[in-house]
Amino acid sequence: MSLVSIPTSEDIYIEVNGRKVAAAQSYRVKSSRESRYIEAFGSREPVGTVGGRVKHWIELSRVCLCQPQSMDFYELSGFNVVVVRPDCKIIYSGCEWADITQSVSVGEVILEKISLVASRRIKI
């Protein structure tokens, strides 16, 4: 009987220049593609389809900086989001943040929710 490994916050992280700078408790990815129909003159239906650009929208929840005094999320640009799964590693590269929400209670670590876009998805 094999055990299934569930990703944890150590498996979802932001890296800059190969260095882990933040960890996330959870993530959500929405990828979309700009697909189009190929139409022929006089035809009532499309003769085919063609795929276009792919866009990746990522939401990271409960994100915490590894060294809060040395970096700020607002300074991040061109970073990677890495998700380690039991069978593979997925890297979203060329990331730029789009939306940042901060929340904190007295005596707790500042946690953030970050929405970002990625230019590329690589599965290793």
Per DSSP, the residues of 57-93 read EEEEEEEEESSTTT--GGG--SEEEEEE-SS-EEEEE
- Is the pTM above the cut of 0.85? no
Summarize pLDDT for 5-41 with one digit per residue, the tens: 555 556 899 998 888 988 999 999 999 999 999 999 9
Res 121 pLDDT > 80? yes
Summarize pLDDT for 62-81 with one digit per residue, the tens: 888 887 677 778 888 999 99
